[in-house]
Every structure is written in C-alpha cells, then in structure tokens.
Amino acid sequence: MEGEPVNVNEFQELARQALPKIYYDYYSGGAEDEYTLKQNVEAFQGITIRPRILVDVSRIDLSTTVLGYQISVPILIAPSAKHKWAHPEGEVATARAAAVCDTIMILSYRSTCTIEEVASSCNAVRFFQCYVYKRRDISANLLQRAERCGYKAIVLTVDSPRLGRREKDIKNKMVNPQLKNFEGLISTRVSTDDGSNIEAFDANTAFDASLSWKDIGWLRSITNLPVLLKGVLTHEDAIKAVEVGVDGIVVSNHGARQLDYAPPTISVLEEVVSAVKGKIPVLFDGGIRRGTDVFKALALGAQAVLIGRPAVYGLAAKGEYGVKRVIEMLRDELELTMALSGCPTLNHITRKHVRTKHERPRSML
C-alpha cells in the first residue's frame, strides 16, 4: 500500500504486512467458523442513516462523559492482550495515544506492560479490565494494584467461564508470553506442548467457571471503584446487571472470540438499552471500523463505543502514532457524519437518525 492509510481498514492491511502471521492471526482471528467475527462488522451495513437537513452544523461538539469523566470523543480503547506482540512499546504506546486524544484506555489484565508501568507512562483517565479467578486472591491483588495506581473503574469480563475455541491459534501452536501482571502470583512459565497453550493457562485452569450473579457483590466489596460488566448480550442479563447494582454495561461478544454464532453486537444493542432504561450507561464493543458505525451505535443508545482490533492494527503499523491516527480517523469520520446528518452534538443523535433493516420505510400516504 502506498502513502498514508486513509481509513481503519487500510491500517489492518499494514498490520498484516508488519506482523508475523502467528501474531496477526491471534489479533484478527475469532472463534470456530468466525461467523460472528464477520457479522460484527457486516451487520452495520444493514443500518442506514436518516440525515436531517438545514440544521446549523457550523460547530460540531464530539465530547461526552463516561462515569463522570469528560472525554473529547465517544471512542474508548477496548481491553486487548499482549500489545508488545504488535509493537515493542506495547500498552505504554497505546496509553499515550489515548491520552493525547483525550480519551480512556481500558487496560487488559493480560497486558505485556504492567499495571504500574502503564499508570506511570502518562497522565490520563484509565480503566482496568479483569476476570474473577479460581484463586480470588489473584483478582483482589490486581484490583487493589489498579486502584492504588489511580485507575478509575473496573471492567469485569463475564463472557468467559471457558476460553472460546480459536482455531487459528491452535493451528499456529500459539504459546503465551510471560504475563507481567502475574509475576510472583502464579507460575508464569510457558508450556510448549502440542497445540495452543493459551487454552492451557487461561480460562480452563485459572478462571472461575462457577462465577455467578451472587459473586458480583464480592467483587464490589473488595474495591471502591465503579464496576462495569463486559459481555452482556441480552435483555434478561441487562436487567439483572441493573438489579445487582453494577455501574455500567459493555455490550460485547468478546470480539467474536468466545461463542461463535452469538449475535453481532450492533444487532442486540437496542435490546440491552431498552432493558436498562437509562439507569446506568451502556457502552458498545464490536465491529467498529468507520465513523458511521460509531454514529449508528450512538443512535441506538450507546453512551460511547470501544475499539479493540483497530487500535492494535494502528499500533502494529505505526506504534503510538498509529493508534493516535486510528482514533483521529474515526473521530473525523464521526464529525463529518454528524455534520451531514444534522447533529451538532452527540445529544442530537437520536433513534430517529437510523433505520435498521427490520424497519420498513414509512409509506408515502
């Protein structure tokens, strides 16, 4: 590809060229047939925008708040693992790009830079993502470190009682690197037996498959930080999340890496939003590649969106600058979409600005 990339998809191609196949497959792959992986992106094509005309859009304001924290654009960095596989500076580079763009990064518990290294790299609002492990003391240790380092919220991933079957990683005999955040807590030695040792280390040995709604109270008892649940896809679970008192929801299917044939997230966003009834914020994760995608998610009720793979592709292609450019591209596309749709602020983006493929156009009576 010649010249600077002009959209997020071109960054993906640059990342593919820059990375060893085993790493690119790890970042880009999904579960089993990768049906949901494709649908996460393609489902946006079934939603059209209904632009309103003759609105003063001489000034466009993209700022919003998440849990009371002001951000310049409704685009957060989703938690994703092992950024040093993409670039030597790893999560520190991603964190600095998010800080420059005045938005929030959610650090993965499986980061290749430690909680402390990322916290000291730059001054910014950050959240920390984790799981509940069979050994609860590990979860408590990570949460307390994050709180001590100034992270502002905990994002608990709840869609992984076991790890999904990611066949590219199995074929590539993917081996986990040492996990910096776990040094001294558990054995971080890697195994090199046949097949992917990602499965060997992770959910099937360390995650607590018995985790249930009653345990959310335990999690809230060991941290003073607000807790968001990541991995909600149904009306029923959204209602339960509100009932147990969490502070927010992330509608997510784990980037289609867990349950294949789970619905594409944009297709269930409205179902979750309607269940929550405005009581807590709903964030959206999955398939965002364009500013129009961000606009559609906001119109269907999301407070903000998360980007996972696009940030990693930017990082792999051009380091901190690449992550910054990905955020800026999506921001600029969103700003243009808002102007062309008659929406000078995010609050002006309403349900009436989009039509899903299930809705029939009003007949001309």
Does residue 365 fall inside a structural domain? no
**Model confidence at 177: pLDDT above 50:** yes
Does residue 361 fall inside a structural domain? no
217 annotated ligand binder: no
**Model confidence at 197: pLDDT above 80:** no
The residues pairing with 157 across neighbouring beta strands, listed in sequence order, are 230
Please report the pLDDT score of residue 48 as a whole number: 98
252 annotated ligand binder: yes
- CA dist 156 and 174 (Å) reads 25
Does residue 65 fall inside a structural domain? yes
| 198 pLDDT tier (thresholds 50, 70, 90) | low
- CA dist 103 and 65 (Å) reads 10
pLDDT digit string (tens) for 38-53? 999 999 999 999 999 9
Comparing 30 with 176, the larger pLDDT belongs to 30
293 annotated ligand binder: no
Does residue 359 fall inside a structural domain? no
290 annotated ligand binder: no
Share of the chain above pLDDT 90, in %: 81
- CA dist 54 and 337 (Å) reads 15
157 annotated ligand binder: yes
Q: Are 8 and 333 in contact (CB under 8 A)?
A: no
Does residue 358 fall inside a structural domain? no
Name which of 99, 107, 41 is nearest 73 in CA terms: 99
Across 65-90, average pLDDT:
97
Does residue 245 fall inside a structural domain? yes
Across 197-201, average pLDDT:
51
39 annotated ligand binder: no
Across 303-318, average pLDDT:
98
Please report the pLDDT score of residue 1 as a whole number: 59
- CA dist 262 and 258 (Å) reads 9
Please report the pLDDT score of residue 202 as a whole number: 54
pLDDT digit string (tens) for 238-289? 999 999 999 999 999 999 999 999 999 999 999 999 999 999 999 999 999 9
Does residue 360 fall inside a structural domain? no
Across 55-61, average pLDDT:
98
97 CB contacts (<8 Å, ≥6 apart)?
311, 314, 315, 320, 321, 322, 323, 324, 327
- CA dist 241 and 151 (Å) reads 22
Provide the domain limits for residue 116: 6-349
Catalytic residues: 254
CATH number where 14 lies: 3.20.20.70
Please report the pLDDT score of residue 365 as a whole number: 45
Please report the pLDDT score of residue 201 as a whole number: 53
DSSP, res 207:
B
Does residue 355 fall inside a structural domain? no
pTM of the model: 0.93
- CA dist 82 and 31 (Å) reads 18
What is the count of structural domains for the chain?
1
Please report the pLDDT score of residue 362 as a whole number: 63
**Model confidence at 134: pLDDT above 70:** yes
